[in-house]
Amino acid sequence: PSSSLEAATSAEDRRKIEATDWLVFDPAQRAEALKQSNAIIRTFLATKKHDAAKEVFRKIPADSVDLIYRNWQAQAGRETLPAEDDNAIREYLCIQAYLNALDSFNDWFEHFHNKRPAEPLKPDNANFHEMVRFEHELREYELELERWRQGLASQSLGVKERIYNVLQFVDGGWMMDQRLDGEIDETRLQQMNGLRGLCLPMLCFLLHTVLHTTEQYRECLALADVIASEDHQLYKVFSRQELRQFLSKQSESSLHLLNQNLDPLGYELVS
Amino acid sequence: LSEFLQAHDHLSWLHDVQVKDYIKAQGTLKRLSAKETLSLAKKKTLLSLSKLTALACDEVPEAELEDINSELDVILHQEQLPKELVQKMELFNSEGDLPVIDPEQLIWLYISEKNTDANEFDFKKALDLLQYLPKDDDAKIDHLRLNVWCKAILKDDWSADRGTGVDPLEHYEDTVFFRTARLILESGADLEYYLPDVDALLTSDELKPLQGNANFQFILRAGYEQMERIVA
């Protein structure tokens, strides 16, 4: 729906997507398949081909993580999973969190822009019947609008939660390996790092859009806390230009707060 | 509008951000954060914005950044106060927000008797906060440090005989005192800075009730010797 976020899927991409079917064909090879499909999705995400990424992701059977653990236990007993497999599973979960966040943003966007009920027009020089019908339509409209608002509020909450799931991904952050005792794949690490720089600022901007559009201006300003925090060090994935853009967006939110007779951060004015 | 914004400190940074004068916005935001005492959340956002504006500068003011990070760290220590303690002390203001508590007061809260479940992590946090006290008052820092350790020691009952053996210390490993010391050692922090002088500790007023306890005196000195060996 939000076409500006989406690049088209080419014939070449289609081939890669279809190839995933073969990757997951043999359950015994699932760990390898996950690494391969992660790699395919990484390149799709890097080129903003989210639909293609989603297609590949959907081809990975939902029980894959379980299966990889079981395969390994059957083979190696109680030993911990190899670092590469462990990291691949974590990466798969990172991808899932990201795709969920995008989906819920798209749903929100669709709801906000396309699902708002249309206000009935008051007819000119209406006769009695037309007026009765208009008032009936108006009442219907107000009910619909209220339903739409409630839907919007709950969708906004959902987007916020899913974007935060990515921004504050547990144990060291999104697309960051936890196990550092395996073989180092430089290309993979570079791609993951690149995706952090590409996707995390974008999600911050999307979250700001949701909060700003739904008039949660104080929360717009409090986003600074999340980005500046040393916990996840999100500020490090922002370029200087992006930081400046973000600050400018936040100051726009501030102006709305001033219009509500609050201070720039949305607190009561103390004189 | 811009004239109006410039005339008011709490608004001028908005104008500075609009005209890309990030260094000026950063200074103003930091000044505002220093003045903020009523709301911890607001102080935090002012500091966070000050940090982001610092990072947006063509030349990032590193010293400022370091200052801001220290301030944010103090706020983190306040946010991590045990919930029960915050409720017991009725620290919340009317908006469900916390007023700003300074590092010294935070130390007293962490080691207070009201913090009934205080463990090694609380005592370590109290000690971590020492670095944020005014640097020129060594006497006060020494006094506070001593108090933290006295309170840690008094968390355990030292009167009972825990048994002897080749290594009497092992019977005291799970006391808050030794757990705190171990936590500091494991964190790689400077133990010498964190630990008070052993004689000052043993002769402190707070520990008077334990001065006649020869076993306690022995265990504590033995513990100090062991830590010195580990550090050396």
Give A63-113 pLDDT, tens digit per residue: 999 999 999 999 888 888 999 999 999 999 999 999 999 999 999 999 999
My answer on whether B141 and B190 are in the same domain is yes
Residues of B with CB under 8 A from a CB of A: 10-11, 13-14, 17-18, 20, 22, 25, 38-39, 41-42, 44-49, 51-53, 55-56, 58, 69, 72-73
| pLDDT mean over B62-89 | 95
- CB pairs A-B closer than 8 Å: 67
CA–centroid distance for A136 within its chain: 40
Question: In terms of pLDDT, which residue wins out, A124 or A255?
Answer: A255
| pLDDT mean over A114-128 | 89
pLDDT of residue B173: 85
**Across all residues in chain A, what is the average pLDDT?**
93
In the listed set B77, B100, B123, which residue is the last one of a domain according to the structure? Answer: B100
pLDDT digits (tens, 9 = 90+) for B3-47: 666 667 788 999 999 999 999 999 999 999 999 999 999 999 999
**Structure token pair of residue A28:** 């015994």
Which residue is closest to A222 within chain B, CA to CA?
Answer: B45
pLDDT of residue A152: 95
pLDDT digits (tens, 9 = 90+) for B188-226: 888 888 999 999 999 999 999 888 888 889 889 988 898
pLDDT of residue A53: 96
My answer on whether B71 and B139 are in the same domain is no
My answer on whether B219 and B192 are in the same domain is yes
| Phi and psi based region of residue A41 (left: phi greater than 0; alpha: psi -120 to 50; beta: remaining) | alpha
pLDDT of residue B6: 60
Region of poorest pLDDT, from A133-142, A168-177, A261-270: A261-270
pLDDT of residue A271: 55
Question: In terms of pLDDT, which residue wins out, B81 or A126?
Answer: B81
Element (H or E) spanning A27, and its range?
Answer: none
Region of poorest pLDDT, from A165-169, B5-9, B105-109, B138-142: B5-9
My answer on whether B91 and B149 are in the same domain is no
* CATH, residue B13: 1.20.58.1380
In the listed set B41, B68, B100, which residue is the last one of a domain according to the structure? Answer: B100
Contact A228 B52 (CB under 8 A): yes
In the listed set B81, B100, B119, which residue is the last one of a domain according to the structure? Answer: B100
Q: How far apart are CA B28 and CA B14, in angstroms?
A: 10
pLDDT of residue B101: 96
My answer on whether B135 and B221 are in the same domain is yes
My answer on whether B95 and B81 are in the same domain is yes
pLDDT of residue B215: 86
Domain count, chain B: 2
Contact A174, A167 (CB under 8 A): yes
Note down the domain range covering B209. 102-232
pLDDT of residue A2: 47
My answer on whether B88 and B131 are in the same domain is no
Contact B20 A244 (CB under 8 A): yes
Does the pLDDT at position A22 exceed 90? no
My answer on whether B37 and B111 are in the same domain is no
pLDDT of residue B172: 84
**Across all residues in chain B, what is the average pLDDT?**
90
Q: What is the ipTM of this complex?
A: 0.89
Domains and CATH numbers, chain A: 3-194 (1.20.190.50)
Q: How far apart are CA A15 and CA B16, in angstroms?
A: 51
Question: In terms of pLDDT, which residue wins out, A199 or B209?
Answer: A199
My answer on whether B210 and B170 are in the same domain is yes
My answer on whether B112 and B222 are in the same domain is yes
My answer on whether B224 and B110 are in the same domain is yes
Closest to A32 in 3D by CA, of A92, A93, A100, A99: A92
CB-CB: which of B11, B39, B58 is closest to A264? B11
Helices and strands (H and E) in chain B: how many = 13, 0
Residues of A in contact with B11 (CB under 8 A): 258, 264
pLDDT of residue A1: 43
pLDDT digits (tens, 9 = 90+) for A144-193: 999 999 999 999 999 999 999 999 999 889 999 999 998 999 999 999 99
My answer on whether B81 and B168 are in the same domain is no
Contact A182, A87 (CB under 8 A): yes
Closest to A119 in 3D by CA, of A101, A93, A140, A99: A140
pLDDT digits (tens, 9 = 90+) for B78-97: 999 999 999 888 888 777 78
Taking a contact as any Cβ pair under 8 Å apart, which residues of chain A between 64 and 103 contact chain B?
A: none
